[in-house]
Amino acid sequence: MIVLGIESSCDETGIALYDTEQGLLSHALHSQIAMHQEYGGVVPELASRDHVKRALPLLREALEKAQLHQNQIDAIAYTQGPGLAGALLVGASVACGLGMALDKPLIGIHHLEGHLLSPLLASQPPEFPFIALLVSGGHTQLMRVDGVGQYALLGETLDDAAGEAFDKSAKLLGLDYPGGPAISKLATLGDPTIHQFPRPMLHSKDLNFSFSGLKTAVLTAVKKYPDALSDTDKANVARGFVDAIIDVLVAKCLTALKQTGLKRLVIAGGVGANLQLRAALNAAANSSNPKKRFQVYYPELEFCTDNGAMIAFAGAMRLQVHPEQATKTYSFNVRPRWPLHELMR
């Protein structure tokens, strides 16, 4: 079965083709980062218009890469939510129009499920069950994953997501959008002893997160400087922030593994590309104590941010497990607010 995946939930237009026998056949992606940079964040109307402009050329590109004709597509998966309403409608309209023209079934995919399953696209995918840390600009959640659609929420952020804290703290330092990669890169030049920021909820007895206080601590530190921050000052603040947030993420992951007794950890979402997070988790996974060792899995770097491949793959998995979810009803149906718990068992 060949599944076309369409992603348009925010500021990336992604198109991909996945074959349940051969794997990922092709994917094409356009990022709007350059367009939104001058505004310091995503402008929804501009994002929607750009999706309209990019979707069909990317579809043709993906078909050419896979050496397929559109009639060879067996099903179409598209991001139904959550996300920006206008942006989601673009992807849904392309999916519905193409589905009707080709008489192919559609399946709407939860954007976060796409991220959650994206590490399974790797050359050495994890086996079920595993603990998943879903960490992005809009979400920070720990889940137990026993199979496709078999998710149990273990903990989540009570306020800001980790990626949001990265972006907001970067803005306080005057760094360009997107702030996450910028502040992480700057942190590599900082002195870890200058700023010891709080580790929110590090010693709580649950698996929840809180990052709004850490962002406030960064603001307080910045205000203590009487003059404009030098590059060295900025690097030191960035280092203190990144060390704090990584310590919390790693500690919560280790606690989740200990509480469940599982030995496989999967990292998904945009922050999964963070090199400091990967280094810290890799070090923990290879503990000198054999009883504390575990396996950690990441998506390929190109699949950490939004992309069509994860939607095509999630669609293929859904269609294999729940074929009844496919539909030939071609009316638009998007869910800008779609709680992930509705997918959980």
Give the annotated binding-site residues for substrate.
134-138, 167, 180, 274
Residues that constitute the known binding site for Fe cation: 111, 115, 306
Residues that constitute the known binding site: 111, 115, 134-138, 167, 180, 274, 306
C-alpha to C-alpha distance for 54 and 41, rounded to whole angstroms: 20
Identity of residue 232: T
Identity of residue 195: H
Handedness of CA 268, 274, 278, 284 (dihedral sign): negative
**209 within 8 A of 252, measured Cβ to Cβ:** yes
Pairing assessment for the beta strands 295-297 and 264-268 based on DSSP bridges: parallel
By three-state DSSP, how is residue 280 classified?
A: helix
C-alpha to C-alpha distance for 261 and 209, rounded to whole angstroms: 21
What would you report as the CA-atom Rg of the chain, rounded to the nearest whole angstrom?
21
C-alpha to C-alpha distance for 97 and 80, rounded to whole angstroms: 15
